[in-house]
């Protein structure tokens, strides 16, 4: 089939990790007889430098005419802790999510047996962890208005807004995923304090009633933060609003060993987007040390979710697991005493594995 994708490498290590994911995507297309078409676009700090806009119209048009977007990372030291910056790279990501209608961010957290010793948690706690975080991505505090400062500058405010419709579509999606998994949904909120959370809970109860086979658990976000490190294997599908999801998915991402390993998919009304969970790590840019696996695994999710090609996805996963077992690893996950490999070496090994399969 025709595989038409937009590549948005972004900033920092983005271009290096996207380059490896592209090579892997090419190898898979080659193996399975697909025709790959790809175009590259600007997003983030590099887009601000070139056009003044972190998500230029040309990039949006490119995404809209593609079947999937493979995204690296955005962010640049010039903008961090710089209150004078009028426009920020991260705004490009937020604008993209909003304009593409990417309301659901799916972040699977799974254990890799060869890496379990890298987890900050005890092995017996991590063992068997396999859950899907579903984070609402286009509502809540991130987009609610009003947002800003009082005239004297001494008061600042953000507004958390959710509509019944926004909650319904994300919670229903969580139940659909649960039906394909172990049939348990944990709805995370702060219904003891927040009005938006009380609406979440009300809507979630209505949806839960339509899925009698699925076990529903309601959990306050503070409790969920604790349970994630105490008993991560108790989760199956966790669904939550934007800000809670941002925080809990970072927590979830280290449970299994390395932030460099977790892919994500953002799906919604238009083209779906696939990106690693980690950021742009500007300090490492150009050094060939970043772990490309989260981006390569994001390409696996792309085959599965955007193109309904599970075999292609599982070949990538198999190759990634084989690379770790062969100790072809970047420094963040390399075993003690072994020399770490570079970003491009890991990518080339995986491409080679796929070619020889
Ligand atoms: C993420 C990131 C973004 C977010 C930032 C870069 C705006 O932390 O994708 O989780 O907060 O959503
Ligand atoms: Mg985040």
Structural domains in the chain (count): 2
Helix (H, G, I), strand (E, B) or coil at 132: strand
Q: Are 60 and 99 in contact (CB under 8 A)?
A: yes
Residues 204 and 314 in one domain: no
Say what the pTM is.
Answer: 0.92
pLDDT recorded at residue 115: 82
Cβ < 6 A, ligand 1 pocket: 90, 93, 246
Angle between the 343-356 and 310-325 helix axes, to the nearest 10 degrees?
A: 120
Decide if 111 is inside a domain.
no
Question: How many whole angstroms from 248 Cα to the centroid of ligand 2?
Answer: 9
Residue 74: which CATH number?
3.40.718.10
CA distances to 117, 128, 131 from 227, rounded to whole Å, are 20, 15, 13
CA 73 to ligand 2 centroid distance, Å: 11
The closest of 93, 100, 91 to 61, measured between CA atoms, is 100
Write down the residue that tokens 């779906």 correspond to.
Answer: 272
- What distance in angstroms lies between residue 307's CA and the mean position of ligand 1's atoms? 25
205: its two tokens: 């109860």
Burial class (CB in 10 A: 0-12, 13-18, 19+), 77: middle
Residues bordering ligand 2, an ion, CB closer than 5 Å: 246
Q: Strands across the sheet with 104-110, in order?
A: 35-40, 2-10, 68-73, 272-276, 263-267, 104-110, 130-136, 237-240, 184-189, 215-220
- Paired residues of 272 in beta bridges: 68
Tell me which of 256, 284, 306 is where a domain ends.
256
Q: For 88-120, how does the pLDDT look when each residue is reduced to its tens digit (9 = 90+)?
A: 999 999 999 999 999 999 999 998 887 888 889
DSSP state of 133: E
Q: Do 245 and 289 belong to one domain?
A: no
pLDDT for res 82: 82
> H or E stretch including 238?
strand 237-240
67 is known as an active-site residue: no
Domain interval for residue 89: 1-102+270-357
Q: Are 95 and 163 members of one domain?
A: no
Does 209 share its domain with 309?
no
The model's confidence at residue 38, banded by pLDDT at 50, 70 and 90, is very high
Q: Give the tens place of pLDDT for each residue, 171-229.
A: 999 999 999 999 999 999 999 999 999 999 999 999 999 999 999 999 999 999 999 99
| CA separation for the pair 244, 193 (Å, rounded) | 14
Choose, from 142, 162, 175, 353, the residue flagged as catalytic. Answer: 142
Atom of ligand 1 minimally distant from the CA of 93: 7
């Amino acid at each position: 089939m025709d595989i038409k994708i937009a590549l948005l490498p972004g900033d920092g290590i983005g271009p290096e990790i996207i380059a490896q994911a592209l090579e892997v995507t090419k190898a898979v297309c080659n193996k399975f007889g697909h025709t790959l078409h790809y175009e590259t676009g600007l997003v983030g700090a590099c887009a601000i430098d070139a056009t003044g806009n972190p998500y230029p119209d040309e990039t949006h048009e490119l995404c809209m005419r593609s079947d999937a977007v493979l995204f690296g990372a955005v962010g640049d030291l010039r903008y961090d802790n710089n209150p004078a910056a009028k426009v920020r790279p991260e705004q490009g990501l937020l604008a993209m999510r909003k304009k593409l209608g990417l309301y659901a961010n799916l972040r699977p957290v799974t254990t890799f047996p060869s890496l379990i010793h890298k987890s900050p948690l005890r092995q017996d706690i991590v063992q068997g962890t396999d859950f899907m975080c579903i984070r609402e991505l286009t509502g809540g505090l991130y987009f609610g208005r009003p947002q800003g400062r009082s005239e004297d500058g001494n008061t600042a405010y953000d507004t958390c807004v959710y509509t019944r419709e926004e909650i319904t579509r994300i919670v229903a999606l969580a139940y659909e995923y649960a039906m394909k998994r172990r049939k348990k949904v944990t709805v995370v909120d702060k219904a003891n304090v927040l009005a938006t959370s009380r609406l979440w809970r009300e809507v979630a109860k209505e949806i839960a009633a339509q899925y009698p086979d699925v076990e529903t658990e309601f959990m306050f976000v503070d409790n969920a933060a604790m349970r994630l490190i105490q008993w991560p294997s108790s989760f199956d599908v966790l669904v939550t609003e934007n800000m809670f999801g941002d925080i809990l998915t970072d927590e979830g991402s280290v449970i299994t060993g390395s932030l460099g390993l977790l892919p994500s998919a953002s799906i919604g009304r238009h083209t779906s987007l696939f990106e690693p969970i980690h950021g742009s790590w500007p300090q490492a840019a150009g050094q060939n040390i970043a772990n490309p696996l989260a981006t390569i695994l994001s390409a696996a999710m792309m085959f599965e979710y955007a193109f309904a090609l599970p075999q292609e996805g599982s070949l990538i996963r198999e190759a990634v697991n084989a690379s770790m077992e062969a100790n072809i690893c970047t420094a963040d996950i390399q075993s003690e005493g072994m020399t770490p490999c570079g970003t491009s070496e890991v990518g080339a090994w995986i491409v080679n594995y796929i070619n020889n399969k």
